[in-house]
Structure 1
Amino acid sequence: MSMTAGITIRQLSADDGLQMEALLTVFGVAFDDVDSYSSARPQAAYLQHLLASDYFIALVASEGSHVIGGLAAYELIKFEQQRSEVYIYDLAVAAAHRRRGIATALIRELQRIGRQRGAYVIFVQADAPDEAAIALYSKLGVREDVLHFDIPVRSS
């Protein structure tokens, strides 16, 4: 757990389903995609299993008891070397709390966790129009221009 200007950053555990639900709400509003993050929410047992796993990392930024941001990441165990990398799947801070260093603090905490786990890198994708995310990630890491493809698991 870390603190930054009255904000607490901490990793969620299996018993933190309510905070994970609050984080899903923050993601839905921040990404203007409430339907995806609210319409078919996982059941409590599913969230408990996910939060207890050794591959999923959820961090929340809280002001008092109110979740104002967070990130969801996955540790990917590599096969070519005995190491892992961490993928930030989602990262958001509520609009009223942006520009306070919270996203940076979340990533710094993830770096600490990654070091503890023996990860060698954290990677994240950003959409080209999201200039704020690109500026943040450029400040913290090296930009690579890649293409992203979604391949459906169902055959057409």
Structure 2
Amino acid sequence: MSTQRFTLKRLTPDDVCLLRKLNALFGNAFSDCQTYGDNPPSEAYMKDFLAKDHVVALVAMAGGVVTGGLVSYELDKFEQARREFYIYDLAVDERYRRQGIATSLINHLRDIAKRRGAWVVYVQADYGDDPAIALYEKLGIREDVLHFDIVTDP
């Protein structure tokens, strides 16, 4: 899938280099380079990650440059025979924003999810992240929920 300005690509185990570039983009976009860069996984870990059927990592590229991307997870449900896709991270490099990249990434994921029998794609946004909230409201239905991190070693 492509437009005049960028091309979308689903990453495979052969795309570890692109996943590392996406990880760096996430670190910059979220102002959290420590989390996204200080302890990078091994090549083998990254290949295994990208080989998982329930993981969808997409990048937008312009002239070989990773301009944006998302990482999502397919979740099988138990209350009904259906599945959901959760967008864990989504970002676009500041220089490439407002060009339809995030919308294209979400719509591409939506197509993948539909082919895989998912009934919904969902994402969370932080209060104060008005551009993300506006995008998600344009594409979906807003739910006000609380998020809790329950650490495994209290």
Normalised by the length of structure 1, the TM-score is 0.97
Read off the aligned partner of 1:32 and give its amino acid letter: S
DSSP-derived class of the 1:145 partner: coil
- The aligned residue for residue 123 of structure 1 is 122
Matched to 1:98, the amino acid is: R
Q: Deviations for 1:71-97, whole angstroms, at most 9, x for unmatched residues?
A: 000000111122110000000000000
Residue 5 of structure 1: CA displacement? 2.4
User: Which digits, 9 at most, give the CA deviation of each residue in 1:65-119, with x for residues without a partner?
Assistant: 1111100000001111221100000000000000000000000000010011100
Counterpart of 2:13 in 1: which secondary structure? coil
How many angstroms does 1:55 deviate by? 1.1
Aligned to 2:105: 106
What is aligned with 1:87? 86
What is the aligned partner in structure 1 of residue 51 from structure 2?
A: 52
Amino acid at match of 1:91: L
Verify: 1:42 aligned to 2:75, yes or no. no
Q: Which runs of 4+ in 1 moved over 6 A?
A: none
Distance 1:83 1:143 in 2: 21
**What is the Cα-based RMSD across aligned positions, in Å?**
0.7
Matched residues in 1 for 2:129 and 2:96: separation? 17
Gaps (5+ residues) in structure 2? none
Q: Is contact 1:4-1:102 (8 Å) kept?
A: no
Distance in structure 2 (CA, Å) of the matches to 1:95 and 1:43: 28
Matched residue, 2:74: 75
Query: In 2, Cα distance between the equivalents of 1:146 and 1:4?
Result: 35
User: Equivalents in 1 of 2:42, 2:87: separation in Å?
Assistant: 23
Match of 2:134 in 1: 135
TM-score by length of 2: 0.98
Q: Shift in Å at residue 46 of structure 1? A: 0.4
Q: Alpha-carbon deviation of 1:10? A: 1.1
Structure 1 residue aligned with 2:148: 149
In structure 1, the gaps of 5 or more residues are none
State whether residues 61 and 69 of structure 1, in contact with CA within 8 Å, keep that contact through their aligned partners in structure 2.
Answer: yes
